[in-house]
Chains A and B, each alone.
Chain A
């Protein structure tokens, strides 16, 4: 199975900060990667699909980039509602696999 190594596992940031989260795949996955946001007690929410496509309704401060094995989620200006846990998911081949998650906390 493809392993997705996500970093950092947690970070503290202030409102307005630029935040970057990375996922590295154990083998090439083309651009078959999505990013999800999960808030406590809630189901995950799709933010970015196919590495860099913004899901409908998601604010433009979220962006994704990368290809092959290295991928990045960037929040250009962190807002109070962005404090959550973020996960990457590869759907290049089965079994699909999530990264371990990155918890974004208030500094």
Chain B
């Protein structure tokens, strides 16, 4: 069974760093891109970017480029999303999803809620 399991909720202060995770199982982790999606409270979905676990190549949305970093650890089938300096505006639910070519994001993590206080 394909599963993406995300790390738990985080409460941080502005300026702090953070890394959240998304662990894949039940499939070949390096065969599918992982995408990250943000959903701010009461708002719609925003595509942040994707990482190819086979070579760690990334594509970021300009809205997020330079503010977040995507990475993977192939040895543990885990993708990461990290911030070096959080802002209050980073408060949101973050989802990872597996992208299948010509199909789309058929599998999603359960989401990680990040709360940043100023």
* Chain B residue total in the interface (Cβ 8 A): 25
Q: Are B111 and A91 in contact (CB under 8 A)?
A: no
Once bound together, how far apart are the Cα atoms of A94 and B49, in whole Å? 8
Q: A43-B111, A44-B95 are in contact. Are A50 and B59 (CB under 8 A)?
A: no
User: Residues of A at under 8 Å CB distance from B?
Assistant: 1, 34, 36, 38, 43-46, 49-50, 53, 55, 85, 87, 89, 91, 94-101
User: Residues of B at under 8 Å CB distance from A?
Assistant: 35, 37, 44-47, 49-50, 59-63, 95, 97, 99, 102-106, 108-111
Q: Can you pick out 17 interface pairs between chain A and chain B where the beta carbons lie within 8 Å of each other? A: A36-B45, A38-B45, A43-B97, A43-B109, A43-B111, A44-B108, A46-B105, A46-B106, A50-B103, A50-B104, A55-B103, A87-B44, A89-B45, A91-B99, A96-B47, A96-B50, A101-B44
